[in-house]
């Protein structure tokens, strides 16, 4: 077997390897903005449909 030739890593340094990090910086914020944008579009579409249904029912009577 080969002898381990590199020095032993400090415990604190070793622990840093497992600390969570934001691999894609800004991703959470971008997704939150997109979600707000998308929910706004859905709301506009629902209002448009309700408006059309209202006037369609008015025309029948």
Averages of pLDDT over runs of 10 residues in the chain (61 residues) are 75 81 83 91 90 84 57
pLDDT of res. 61: 57
Cα distances (angstroms) measured from residue 56 to each of 13, 15, 24, 49, 52: 69, 65, 48, 10, 6
Tally of residues, the chain: 61
Q: Establish if 2 belongs to a structural domain.
A: no
pLDDT of res. 50: 92
Q: Establish if 48 belongs to a structural domain.
A: yes
Specify the number of domains making up the chain. 1
Q: Establish if 60 belongs to a structural domain.
A: yes
For the beta carbon of residue 32, count every other beta carbon within 10 angstroms. Answer: 10
Q: Establish if 30 belongs to a structural domain.
A: yes
Q: Establish if 1 belongs to a structural domain.
A: no
Host domain of residue 59 = 26-61
pLDDT of res. 13: 85
Q: Report d(CA 10, CA 51) in Å as an integer.
A: 67
What does pTM read for this prediction?
0.44
53 and 47 Cβ atoms separated by less than 8 Å = no
Q: Establish if 9 belongs to a structural domain.
A: no
């Amino acid at each position: 077997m080969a002898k381990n030739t590199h020095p032993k890593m400090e415990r604190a340094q070793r622990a840093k390897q497992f600390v969570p990090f934001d691999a894609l910086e800004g991703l959470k914020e971008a997704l939150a903005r997109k979600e707000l944008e998308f929910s706004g579009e859905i709301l506009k579409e629902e209002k448009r449909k309700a408006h059309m249904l209202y006037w369609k029912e008015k025309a029948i009577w």
